[in-house]
Amino acid sequence: MKEYDVIIIGSGVAGLSAAYPLRQAGKSVLIVEEDLWGGTCPNRGCDPKKILLSGVEAQRKVSQLIGKGFNSVPSIEWEKLQAFKRTFTDPVSENRQQALAQAGIDYKTGTAQFLNENEIELNGQLFKAEKFVIATGQRPSILQIEGKEYLKTSADFLSLDHLPEKIIFIGGGYVAFELATIAHAAGSQVTIIHHNTHPLKEFNEPLVQELVKQMEEFGIMFEWNIETKKIQPKGTQFQLITEDREYQADAIICSTGRQPNIASLNLDKANVATEKSGIRVSSTMQTSNPAIYACGDVVAKKQPKLTPVATFEGTYVANHILQPTINKITYPLIPTIVYASPKLAKVGITKEKDEGSYRTESIDLTNWFTYHRRNDPMAKAELLFDQENYLVGATVLSESADELINDLMLMINQQLRAKDLNQFIFGYPTMMSDIPYLMK
């Protein structure tokens, strides 16, 4: 039996963010991965999605300037865009392993299973550690319906060699909106089917409805209050069957959420408590077994399950293992972004929370120079200020919402008011140079 100071299960950003500082501090570290090294984000998640989205963004910018310097909208060549994406994704696993070796971190591929509170079995071998870190992330959920074997997931979509002509996305969350945007821009006929009329429920409904309207105008179809009962093949296509309707497509993507990767770990033998959304942790990221930590998307938490959050938690876990007396984890403001077209982003307090305590400013930015110069069809922002006129929350809907939301996050964190910005001279014209006018 080989012993380590720390064994980390999962090689995504959470696990790697813990592994490197622990090794640099002199700890012996083993990291275990049962699938692709590097985890979901760089292999089949946010990074490849953003590469495909780059084609959408380029196409959209040109389409908005038809008759204003351009006379045709470029088509996306899916196979070439996918080939470009693979120049990034294909080397990830090997690069991550090489980096671990260079850092002196042991790594093994296989499925780890706890035997007790401080031992695991891996590929028929036993390993023991003083501390463990579980960072196994999540995987796409599949509807438990008849014909579920015909459903595809977001990972399947991101690796499609050829784009189907007609695609149905089931779900009303980030993934459905983002992948539908990519598929439609690349030439597919796209329908989003949702079981109620409230997609993207974490966001302010008026801006969500505006996003839906914009997507519909681009040609994406929405079907509301649809409960999927069955999937079945029909010729070369597939049918989605409800109580009283049938929909047909070349591919049906299930984007109805994600579930924690914990089934194979035998966590009951390690005295680690779980719930449906993941592993329970304390304010120091320790599980019900104090020698075992958990971080990243595998954790049951109220914070969004995003890559930068996982990185933040992994770094905290390493620090807590090295200095158990440090304070409990405290999360900063976390921006969240829907990479649709237009993009929808928010940070801080939203309108639905205690509306009477704040002043709300709804601003139509469409005719501001930043957006008018690109002929963006619309741009809107909703800002919340407290009683002392400090910005406490923001939601933005525009093609540049992902850029502006980070600027607004800094305004909130630094507690800057409009008068404070007068001491700065920003590069112009830029998103940042718009901030003083937004804050007034």
Closest alpha carbon to 165 in 253, 236, 250, 78: 250
**173 a known binding residue?**
yes
Q: What is the domain partition of the chain in residue ranges?
A: 1-138+257-320, 146-255, 341-437
Q: Are strands 29-33 and 2-9 parallel, antiparallel or unpaired?
A: parallel
CA distance 20 to 225: 47
Inter-residue contact 396 to 405 (CB < 8 Å)? yes
- The pLDDT value recorded for residue 90 is 97
**Can you tell me whether residue 296 is helix, strand or coil?**
helix
What is the Cα Rg of the chain in Å?
A: 23
Instruction: Name residues whose C-beta falls within 8 Å of residue 440's C-beta, 6 or more positions apart in sequence.
Output: 418
CA distance 148 to 28: 43
Q: In this structure, how many other beta carbons lie within 10 angstroms of the beta carbon of residue 177?
A: 26
Q: Report the alpha-carbon angle 411-400-415, nearest 5.
A: 5
The residues that bridge with 113 in the sheet, in sequence order, are: 121
Q: For 149, which DSSP code?
A: G
Q: In this structure, how many other beta carbons lie within 10 angstroms of the beta carbon of residue 334?
A: 15
Tokens 């380590």 identify what position? 4
Q: How many CA atoms lie within 13 A of 324 on its CB side?
A: 6
User: Which token pair is 250?
Assistant: 């070349």
User: Which token pair is 359?
Assistant: 């002043």
**Can you tell me whether residue 237 is helix, strand or coil?**
strand
Closest alpha carbon to 103 in 41, 11, 36: 11
Q: In this structure, how many other beta carbons lie within 10 angstroms of the beta carbon of residue 252?
A: 26
Superfamily per CATH, domain 1-138+257-320: FAD/NAD(P)-binding domain (3.50.50.60)
Inter-residue contact 278 to 300 (CB < 8 Å)? yes
**Can you tell me whether residue 286 is helix, strand or coil?**
strand
Inter-residue contact 161 to 186 (CB < 8 Å)? no
Length of the chain: 440
Inter-residue contact 14 to 297 (CB < 8 Å)? yes
Q: Are strands 237-241 and 230-234 parallel, antiparallel or unpaired?
A: antiparallel
- The pLDDT value recorded for residue 419 is 84
Domain 146-255 sits in CATH at 3.50.50.60
**132 a known binding residue?**
no
Select from 3.40.50.11260, 3.50.50.60, 3.30.390.30, 3.40.630.30 the CATH code of 341-437: 3.30.390.30
**67 a known binding residue?**
no
Same topology, domains 1-138+257-320 and 341-437? Answer is: no
CA distance 300 to 280: 6
Low-confidence ranges of the chain (pLDDT < 50): none
Give Cα 392 distance to the centre of its chain.
23
Burial class (CB in 10 A: 0-12, 13-18, 19+), 182: buried
**427 a known binding residue?**
no
Burial class (CB in 10 A: 0-12, 13-18, 19+), 253: buried
**Can you tell me whether residue 344 is helix, strand or coil?**
strand
Give one word for 393, left, alpha or beta, with left for phi > 0 and alpha for psi -120 to 50: beta
CA distance 22 to 346: 34
**26 a known binding residue?**
no
**50 a known binding residue?**
yes
Helix (H) or strand (E) holding 307: helix 307-322
User: Which token pair is 285?
Assistant: 């990221």
**174 a known binding residue?**
yes
Q: Report the alpha-carbon angle 209-210-213, nearest 5.
A: 90
User: Which token pair is 55?
Assistant: 């084609």
- The pLDDT value recorded for residue 355 is 58
**32 a known binding residue?**
no
- Look up residue 322 and give its amino acid: L
Give Cα 427 distance to the centre of its chain.
30
**310 a known binding residue?**
no
Residue 125 main-chain phi, psi, to 5 deg: -110, 155
Tokens 């807590």 identify what position? 320
**Can you tell me whether residue 310 is helix, strand or coil?**
helix
- The pLDDT value recorded for residue 418 is 80
**171 a known binding residue?**
yes
CA distance 175 to 190: 14
**177 a known binding residue?**
yes
Give Cα 114 distance to the centre of its chain.
29
